[in-house]
A and B are shown apart, each in its own frame.
Chain A
Amino acid sequence: MKRKAYGRDAGLSLRMLLTSSLLGLLYVAFALVLFYVFNAGLVLMLVIVIGLAFFQYYTSDKLALKASGAKIVSPDEAPQLHAIVERLAAMAEIQKPRVAIVDTDVPNAFATGRNQKHAVVAVTRGLWERLDEKEIEGVLAHELTHIANRDVLVMTVASFFAMLAAVLTRFGLYAGMFGGFGGGRNSNNNNSVPIWLIVIVVSAVTYALSWILIRTISRYREYAADRGSALITGAPEYLMSALQKISSQMTLIPQRDLREVEGMNAFFIIPARVKEGAAELFMDHPPLEKRLAALEQIAREMGRPVA
């Protein structure tokens, strides 16, 4: 995929590369340890985890939509929203993704889908009602940059070994409790450390380290999406004000009537967070001040007015 219009931040690219290679190194080390310590069962486990990863990757859009309760809307149902997405997609040079709305007061947005063809961009009703059009454009451009950057793919790959490590840790714990990995006890003499213990420790360490690295990559990709949004819309100040509005306390206060909510007997229907697979606007995001500072820098470079 060509990447041209999204601008460059040499430092950011370098940090991304560094973190990614660290993560890759960690995974190789993890795989080696696994391979040497025990080879039986490994194939099976790999098959399971690869299967899971593929499942997650191929269903990421459906999973995210299900988990968030988002509904795909047609251009007739939400003409204004579709028009904005269409315009921004053209500017970002990607296919127009499907558009979905989540019926909740919490202002939020996310993008999901393994590639441009399967991409969905979703906004919540709260976001639509509370932000003005320019700010919504800023947020949507951020999400479209996630799609253009293929962040779902990146995060799926990045979290693959973390998943494997998590599965193994649990597996190792059960095996330890109920009698070892496939006859591992017999081949071991009593003096050495049991295999399952090694597996647990290595897996747990891998999991912890990769968790941190994944968060870091995720944060870098947020900065990249903010930058993309600034370049697509040409006006980072609207994304800045959107971020400030979204994170302010006010947006927590619901707009619904108490009786309406009580009548439906559905106090807390929608989880505010969306599961993995979605590059959600507020998951694993860098702190607001840092994002605003970065955007301000971009705005200055672009010669935009900043408050």
Chain B
Amino acid sequence: MGLRDVLFGRKKLKDPARERLFAISTARITLETELDLKPAGAAGVCFKSLSAGEFVRAENELQELLDAVANQSGSKVERHSDELGFEWLVVRDGDFEDLVATVHLIATELQDHGFGPQLLAALFPFGGKFKEGRVYWIYGFKRGTFWPFVPTGKEQERDNAEELELKAKLEQELPIEQDLTRWFGLFDAPV
């Protein structure tokens, strides 16, 4: 921020650095070799559903966008709504790098179409051979950071100990959200 911005009170918000999303592609190797966690072959992009007025325009654009993404990347994309009133685009792709690229593409397209503020998070599930249930990495688009999310399966309970361990293990590779009070979960996601 320059002096003039300070003087005139123009606070620039940091660009969320979309490229940080790709850090998960490399982190995946550590997850797999050291923690026995494999990507589940799917990922979800969660965004707030739109008000009725915007709905018709958005609906068309969204469909176009999904078709375009499907053509470009070869990943399968489905749409879901959840009971909390949020929309999900669930991407399925066996190749993890393609999966991440598709998620990035969707996020970029949504932002370019003016849905940026509605964009909430991307969710990457991982699973292990010796592990029941799943481990998730959530990517918050607003701050461009990742945080771990390990639901225990019992209501809204999560395994904080394992989450902190994941943080410690991947600190070097992922831009992890340092403010732990922002580590909100995404329970019962359709991914």
Contacts and interface: CB of A to CB of B under 8 A. Distances in A.
Interface in B147-191: 156, 158, 160-161, 163-164, 180-187
Interface string A128-168: 00000000000000000000000000000000000000000
Interface in A274-293: none
A263 B184 contact: no
Contact of A254 (B86, B138, B181): B181
A254 B84 CA distance: 18
Contact of A257 (B48, B164, B180, B185): B185
Output the residue of B46, B120, B160, B164 with the most chain A CB within 10 A: B160
A128 to B, nearest CB: 15
B164 A258 contact: no
B42 interface: no
A259 B160 contact: no
Output the residue of B84, B164, B183, B185 with the most chain A CB within 10 A: B185
Interface string A249-270: 1101111111111110000000
Specify the main secondary structure of chain A where it touches its partner.
Answer: helix
A263 B84 contact: yes
B151 to A, nearest CB: 10
A277 to B, nearest CB: 25
Contact of B186 (A249, A254, A259, A263): A259
B84 A259 contact: yes
Contacts of B183: 252-254
A258 B121 contact: yes
Specify the main secondary structure of chain B where it touches its partner.
Answer: mixed
Nearest to B148: A253
Contacts of B46: 258-259
Contacts of B187: 257
Contacts of B184: 254, 256-258, 260-261
Contacts of A106: 181
Given A253-B160, A253-B163, A263-B84, A258 B180 contact: no
Interface residues of B, number: 24
B84 A257 contact: yes
B2 interface: no
B164 A250 contact: yes
A106 B121 CA distance: 23
A258 B186 contact: yes
Interface string A288-305: 000000000000000000
Given A250-B161, A257-B186, A263 B156 contact: no
Nearest to B155: A255
B85 interface: yes
Contacts of A254: 181-185
A258 B185 CA distance: 6
B138 A258 contact: yes
A249 B180 contact: yes
Contacts of A253: 158, 160, 163, 180-181, 183
A142 B88 CA distance: 47
A255 B158 contact: yes
B179 to A, nearest CB: 8
B180 A259 contact: no
A249 to B, nearest CB: 6
Contacts of B48: 262-263
Nearest to A251: B160
Contacts of B185: 254-258
Contacts of A256: 156, 184-185
A160 to B, nearest CB: 35
A87 B186 CA distance: 39
Given A249-B164, A253-B181, 12 more contacts: A105-B181, A250-B164, A252-B180, A252-B183, A254-B181, A257-B184, A257-B187, A258-B138, A258-B184, A258-B186, A259-B82, A263-B85
23 contacts: A249-B180, A250-B161, A252-B183, A253-B160, A253-B180, A253-B181, A254-B181, A254-B182, A254-B184, A256-B184, A256-B185, A257-B156, A257-B184, A258-B121, A258-B138, A258-B184, A258-B185, A259-B46, A259-B84, A260-B184, A261-B184, A262-B48, A263-B48
Interface of B: 46, 48, 82, 84-86, 120-121, 138, 140, 156, 158, 160-161, 163-164, 180-187
**Nearest 9 CB-CB pairs, A to B?**
A258-B184, A252-B180, A250-B160, A259-B84, A253-B183, A259-B86, A253-B160, A253-B180, A257-B187
